[in-house]
Amino acid sequence: MRPGFMRLARRSLPCALGAILLIAAASCAGGGGETEADAVETPEELEARAREIHERVITADTHKDISGNFAPTDGSDGEDPNERAGRKVDLPQMREGGLDLVFFVVYVGQGQGNLDDEGYTDALGAAMSKFDGIHRMVDDLYGDQIGLATSAAEAEQLAAEGKLVAAIGIENGYPMGDDIALIARFKELGAGYMGITHNGHNQLGDSNTAAWYGTEEEPQRALHGGLSELGREAIAEMNRQGIMVDISHAGKRTMLEALEVSQAPVIASHSSVTTLRDHPRNLDDEQLRALKENGGVMQTVALGNYLKDPAPRNEAIAALREEMGLPAARGRGGRGGRGGGGRRGGTVAEQPELSDEERAEREASQAEFQSRVAAEIDPEFGQANVQDFVDHIDYVVDLIGIDYVGISSDFDGGGGIEGWDNAAETFNVTHEMVKRGYTEEEIAKVWSGNLLRVWREVEEVAQRIQSEEGR
């Protein structure tokens, strides 16, 4: 039985028994008045209640990727955050979906090796370009709509004023190189959290993906065996500066050691649950229990491949293509590579120039293929959706409690699922939680309360450390 269903059944059973008893009592009394059955909440009433809750709580998404030329002011082509231009998050969609707070991410990847001065210099330049873009958005272009929060209190104040809220997360500590002093600079620029690693080990610690450092004999070969000494120093400095430590993408040993080293709670800015989807990017039960002990929070991520295994769907689609004599899908199968099999069953490999008759025949075959995917594959192997997403939230709640789970999308970096595929669809997550019996207080915790609590505690630790240093 799915954990989400278990949770719903557990919450609904007392209400159902109560309703039965009240109906029976009304029948015995012989009265003609309204019974409990008449007062049962309709789907329309539940949706209306969910919309009221969604309006009242602060909704926060801790991971939205941005382009290298974000919010340009020099007339160059780039990502204008106030335009609907095919991206999953922009200011109009945030307004439409009621998404209040978004961490815009300063992400810089690393090539093979590149753990040297040249690599660090290039990475720092790329990171600073993204910091600059976020500041252009809030300072130069759209400050009337969105403000930058550098603390939990600022986030709440901006939301209370009716403004959209931007915060900054750094994905991958690689751009700091071996210069601990850069962490203070990142704080000055508004960084709310910083990740230890991304894909591939770096100078701070081992990733959950060895990448370039792996070998054929040992694909996940360790570089440090967990945190490096520099990584330990970086966490200490993040604690001192009041920057949340992000353990998403870190290897398990690195993550557990980070919890041991950190004086403050940590976050997993965009991860999900290993038990429901065995993927190296997710957290297993041991890690989740350790996260609770630390007081941190796992921001459940709406990236399909981290929510459910796409392999059965992809295999079914491949078999159908073969049966129909269609060419194999190219690449990762469209959204299926990250979302559970692809809404349209993958893209077709490039074909030579076709005649009008051949093109019509090909289009008819493709239409039949899509029809059969919808009729034969979707019912059994649907792509990841909001229900799957909330299953992961349910699992964390059931295992370690309501206070240690939050929400992230990884929009514009691979995230997006059926029902929450862009910021405009954000209400659907709240709606699903209401359907499962979550209270408004619980929904407020999951959407932002738990994250803001960690953010405050991180700030308090920084104040204590700095106060002790000043004695």
Residue-wise pLDDT tens digits, 106-129: 999 987 778 999 999 999 999 999
β strands within 279-387, DSSP E: 297-301, 329-330, 347-348
* DSSP 3-state of 411: strand
Select the more confidently predicted residue: 440 or 38: 440
Report the range of poorest mean pLDDT among 40-49, 150-159, 336-345, 431-440. Answer: 336-345
pLDDT at position 351, please?
52
pLDDT tier, 38 (very low <50, low <70, confident <90, very high otherwise): low
pLDDT at position 359, please?
82
Cα(191)–Cα(184) distance, rounded to whole angstroms? 9
393 φψ region: left (φ > 0), alpha (ψ -120 to 50), beta (else): alpha
- Which percentage of the chain shows pLDDT scores above 90? 79
pLDDT tier, 330 (very low <50, low <70, confident <90, very high otherwise): low
Cα(132)–Cα(165) distance, rounded to whole angstroms? 17
* Residue whose C-alpha is closest to residue 299's, from 454, 146, 440: 454
Alpha carbon distances (Å) from 363 to 166, 293, 322, 389 = 44, 56, 17, 34
- The C-alpha angle 53, 59, 65, rounded to 5 degrees, equals 155
Residue whose token pair is 């060419």: 327
Contacts 24+ apart (CB under 8 A), 351-355: 351/327
Average pLDDT, the chain: 89
Residue whose token pair is 């209401």: 434
Dig out the tokens for 205 from the structure: 């610690």
pLDDT at position 48, please?
98
Amino acid at 471: R
pLDDT at position 363, please?
86
pLDDT at position 353, please?
78
Residue range 48-59: mean pLDDT, rounded: 98
pTM of the model: 0.87
β strands within 179-258, DSSP E: 191-195, 244-246
- Which percentage of the chain shows pLDDT scores above 70? 87
Cα(195)–Cα(235) distance, rounded to whole angstroms? 10
pLDDT at position 212, please?
86
8 Å CB contact between 200 and 224: no
CATH fold of the domain at 50-308+385-469: TIM Barrel (3.20.20)
φ, ψ for residue 157 (rounded to 5)? -65, -45
pLDDT at position 467, please?
96
Residue 39 pLDDT greater than 90, yes or no: no
Residue 150 pLDDT greater than 80, yes or no: yes
pLDDT tier, 16 (very low <50, low <70, confident <90, very high otherwise): very low
pLDDT at position 354, please?
77
Report the range of poorest mean pLDDT among 30-39, 242-251, 392-401. Answer: 30-39
* Residue whose C-alpha is closest to residue 61's, from 389, 289, 395, 401: 389
* Residue whose C-alpha is closest to residue 384's, from 413, 404, 405, 414: 414
pLDDT at position 99, please?
99
Q: What is the pLDDT of residues 334-385, one digit of tens each?
A: 333 333 333 334 444 455 677 888 788 888 988 999 999 899 998 999 999 9
pLDDT at position 47, please?
98
pLDDT tier, 331 (very low <50, low <70, confident <90, very high otherwise): very low
Q: Where along the chain do its domains lie?
A: 50-308+385-469, 311-377
pLDDT at position 20, please?
40
Residue range 442-459: mean pLDDT, rounded: 99
Alpha carbon distances (Å) from 81 to 94, 148, 158, 358, 399 = 10, 14, 18, 42, 38
Q: How many CB atoms lie within 10 A of CB 386?
A: 21
